[in-house]
Amino acid sequence: MSFEELKQLIQESFSEAIVAEDELATPKALLVSKDSLHEVCDFLYTNDKTYFDSLSCMTAIDNGVEKSTVEIAYNLYSIPFDIHLMIKVELDRDNPSVVSVSDIWRTADWHEREAFDLVGIHFNNHPDLRRILLPDDWEGHPLRRDYVEQERYHDVKVKY
C-alpha cells in the first residue's frame, strides 16, 4: 500500500484527522491532530489492510521557545505488508499532554516514559508514567532547548 493510499484510507474514516503531510520525511509522515491520534493509531493497528503491528520507534522533539511546540513522531511498521509510516502529532510546548498509545502497542510504555523524562510530555491513561533514565528526584527535562542544569544533585555540584 502506497503513502497516498494510506492517506486516503485514513481520510475515509476520519475526515478531520490529517492536518498536514511531509513527503520528504523518511518514512513519509502524516501530521495528525492531537484529539484523533488514538483512534487513528487504533485504526491503523486493527485494519486488516494495514495491520501496523509494530511501533518501531517513538521520539519526542522540542521545537524551541519561538515555535512554542513539541512534537512526537511515531514510526510504524507493518510486518505482514512490509509498509512503513510516520505519524506525527504537534503539541503546545507549555503544558504538553497527549493520550497514551501504550494500550495499542506495549512498546510505547517505555518510549512514552522516556519522552516524559527527557522532554516533559504528559501521557494521559499511561499505566506507569514516571522517569525512566534520570533519578526520580531530578529537576527539569534535559532535552528541552531552554534546559538549565540544576546547581547541585544530592550535594554534588552538577555543572563545571
Contact residues toward other proteins (CB under 8 A) are 133-135, 138, 142, 147, 149, 153-154, 156-160
Look up residue 89 and give its amino acid.
V
Identify whether 135 is preceded by a cis peptide bond (ω within 30 of 0): no
Given the complex with other proteins, which of 48 and 151 has the nearer CB atom? 151
Q: Which is nearer to other proteins, 104 or 143 (CB)?
A: 143
CB nearer to other proteins: pick between 12 and 160: 160
Q: Are 57 and 111 in contact (CB under 8 A)?
A: yes
Q: What are phi and psi of 2, to 5 degrees?
A: -85, 170
What's the min distance (Å) between Cβ of 80 and other proteins? 39
Please say which residue, 81 or 138, places its beta carbon nearer to other proteins: 138
Within 10 A of 123 (CB to CB), how many other CB atoms are there? 22
Closest CA to 105 of 36, 58, 35: 58
Q: How near is the Cβ of 143 to other proteins at its closest, in Å?
A: 10
Closest distance to other proteins from the beta carbon of 130 (Å): 13
Identify whether the C-beta of residue 100 lies closer than 8 Å to the C-beta of residue 123: yes
For other proteins, the closer of residues 77 and 153 by Cβ is: 153
Task: Return d(Cα 41, Cα 74) in angstroms, integer.
Answer: 9
The distance of closest approach from Cβ of residue 120 to other proteins in the complex, given in angstroms and rounded to an integer, is: 15
d(CA 125, CA 148) in angstroms, rounded, equals 29
| Shortest Å, Cβ 128 to other proteins | 18
List the beta bridge partners of residue 156: 153
